[in-house]
Amino acid sequence: MHNNKKIVSFEDLTAICDKLKADGKKKVVLCHGCFDLLHIGHIRYFKQAKQMGDILVVTLSPDCFVDKGPGRPKFTDNLRAEAISSLDSVDFVAINQWETAEETLRILQPHVYVKGSDFKNVEADSTGKLALEEKVCKEIGAELAFTRDIVFSSTNLINRFFSSFPEEVQSYLNVFRKRYSIDDVLNFIHRMSELKVFVIGDSILDEYRYCHSLGASSKDPLLAVQYDSHDMFAGGVLAVANHAGNFAKSVRLATVIGEKDSHESFIRDHLSSGVKPHFFIQENAPTLIKRRYVDGYSMTKLLEIYVMDDSGLSREKDLELCEFLKETIPDYDIVISADFGHGAISENVRETLIEHAPFLAVNTQANAGNKRMHTISSYKRADYASIAEPELRLDARNLKTDIRPLTIDACRRLGCKQFVVTCGKRGSCVATLDGSFVLIPAFASKVVDRVGSGDAFFAISALAAYLNASPEMTGFIGNLVGSLAVEIIGNQKSVQKDSLEKYITSILK
């Protein structure tokens, strides 16, 4: 059979399998996976699978569902299909239409579904997907079989010989693998599911208005654009709560929204299911919107407009918030303050957090909306802090000194167990009270949008710090989360726990 005839659409594969089963003469075997880098392990896997029946069909994970971390898959689904079709043991290849093989199994209904020997322990699969596939096999009467052979890993081979990371990052990962195992890192992610988290801060609605350039205006020295479409995302503390909600046992959110144009329904609809909000209403004010005009082709931001009233809550409402905090936050493991400096967190609220939080994690931002007047020094104490390098230098009034002494000094001033500074493409650094200091490189291979990446880093690294992760472990987990977040437009979605777990497994194999 000519190789090209082996590659079929999923619809055609369905018809082929239906006919084969109707004839009753051929036993259909199904293999499913990513198969990003075809190697000897795959070849043996397919050969053994073919021996379990008569016709071997292979379905591939489409590019959009390969969640092994940034830069994967290395080969497109069409190229992966072409490679597999060249094998004599394979009869048909199709690109799957779903994230997992469950629906594939229900539609194709093979006689045998074959997995590699590394999947034999169903209980050890942290994603739970294999257990679901096993359940579907029982539903349709298919045999779930496993091959017996040496396990080879595409991910390990890619990391060793085809890494997209610069040499210095690859060298760092080689050293990190000697200090920590995959399970060491995953253990912290798993333990996050036991935490009760309280989150407080400024609600921000990130509005993206996509447009395309029309060129220079004929009458004024300005750029003319044509509006195309728009999106709105739950940003600010809403994004922080959503990230934490994907990992923690429960999240309680306290935030301020406006009385006018509150967008409360939108906000509720865009919070993770594990987040329980408590809104404090700012009278005669809108909920803050950061409206960005974006070139839809390049994703370059052209203009940013703030729709806001940063005067904050009335005195009565502010006192009400403080009393709420005093009564509520002692029941939580960790309090995360996402303080964007737009009025939600007053001086009284900060003092209440400092006094009553069992473990206080703080992020402050100096931005255009607060005229870059809001820095980490507005907090007298924190157990954990995370800020960007420009904000550290602004707070220290120092543009030139090496970042190490500045970070250690800030850590000691706040009495932090860990103080993290994110440094963009250079990664992050972490200081502790005893003066230790560690640098962790960045792992992002593709940057779609930096908006929201710092919020993702802060939310999950704070949980790691609470769990007494080492400074290096805290920064490592934070950088991985950040590298996933920069591939997302704005706060369109939050970083998922299973995506991070797969990325950890992938990068450390």
Distance CA 460, CA 111 (A): 43
As a whole number of angstroms, the distance between CA 411 and CA 433 comes to 6
Question: Whole-angstrom Cα distance, residue 158 to residue 170?
Answer: 12
**Rounded average pLDDT over 238-255:** 97
Confidence of residue 506 (pLDDT cuts 50, 70, 90): confident
Q: What is the pLDDT of residues 128-185, one digit of tens each?
A: 777 888 899 999 998 998 888 655 555 555 455 455 667 888 889 999 999 999 999 9
**Is residue 498 exposed (0-12), middle (13-18) or buried (19+ Cβ within 10 Å)?**
middle
pLDDT (0 to 100) of residue 439: 96
pLDDT for res 40: 80
CA angle (447 as vertex; 446, 451 as ends), nearest 5: 155
Average pLDDT over residues 470-495: 92
Mean pLDDT of the chain: 90
Q: State the burial class of residue 487 (Cβ atoms within 10 Å of its Cβ: 0-12, 13-18, 19+).
A: middle
CA dihedral 107→29→503→509, nearest 10 degrees, is 180
Q: What mean pLDDT comes out for the span 183-206?
A: 97
Cis peptide before 73 (omega within 30 of 0): yes
pLDDT tens digits, 363-378:
999 888 888 888 999 9
pLDDT digits (tens, 9 = 90+) for 274-326: 999 999 999 999 999 999 999 988 889 999 999 999 899 999 999 999 999 99
Q: Give the confidence band of 491 by pLDDT, cuts at 50, 70, 90.
A: confident
- The lowest-confidence range among 74-78, 114-118, 318-322, 428-432 is 114-118
Beta strands in 299-397 (DSSP E): 301-307, 334-339, 360-364, 384-388
Look at residue 224 and tell me whether its pLDDT is greater than 60: yes
pLDDT value at residue 150: 59
Greater pLDDT, 373 or 235: 235
Q: Locate tokens 């990664």: which residue?
A: 427
**Amino acid in the structure at residue 199:** V
Whole-number percent of the chain with pLDDT over 90: 66
| φ, ψ dihedrals at 413, nearest 5° | -65, -40
pLDDT reported for residue 37? 77
Residues 418-477: pLDDT tens digits? 999 999 989 999 999 999 999 999 987 777 788 889 999 999 999 999 999 999 999 999
Mean pLDDT of the 20-32 span: 90
The reported pLDDT for the residue numbered 464 is 98
Q: Does residue 8 sit in helix, strand or coil?
A: coil
Under CATH, which number does the domain 185-201+240-508 receive? 3.40.1190.20
Record the pTM.
0.75
Distance, CA of 224 to CA of 215 (rounded, Å): 6
Distance of CA 485 to CAs 12, 201, 443, 448, Å?
37, 20, 11, 9
- If one compares 153 and 509, the residue with the highest pLDDT of the two is 509
Question: Using 50, 70 and 90 to split pLDDT, how confident is the model at 254?
Answer: very high
CB 117 within 8 A of CB 146: yes
Q: Which of the residue ranges 35-49, 231-245, 328-342, 363-377 would you say has the lowest mean pLDDT?
A: 35-49
- pLDDT of amino acid 151: 57
Confidence (pLDDT) at 23: 86
Residue 159: per-residue pLDDT: 52
> What's the pLDDT score for residue 2?
44
- For the chain, the C-alpha Rg in angstroms (whole number) is 26
Q: pLDDT above 70 covers what percent of the chain?
A: 93
| DSSP-assigned beta bridge partners for residue 208 | 231, 292
pLDDT at 356: 97
Whether the CB-CB separation of 339 and 373 falls below 8 Å is answered with no
For the chain, the helix, strand and coil percentages under 3-state DSSP, each to the nearest 5? 40, 25, 35
CA proximity to 119, closest of 133, 138, 98 = 133
Question: Beta strand 360-364 with 334-339: parallel, antiparallel or unpaired?
Answer: parallel
353 vs 299, residue with greater confidence? 353
Number of neighbours of residue 433 by Cβ within 10 angstroms: 14
User: How far does the chain reach from its first CA to its final CA, in angstroms?
Assistant: 37
236 and 337 Cβ atoms separated by less than 8 Å: no
pLDDT top residue among 251 and 79: 251
- Domain residues of the chain, as ranges? 3-160, 185-201+240-508
pLDDT in tens, 46-66: 999 999 999 999 999 898 888
**Residue 370: count of CB within 10 angstroms of its CB:** 18
Give 3-160's CATH code, choosing from 3.10.150.10, 3.40.50.620, 1.20.120.550, 3.30.70.141. 3.40.50.620
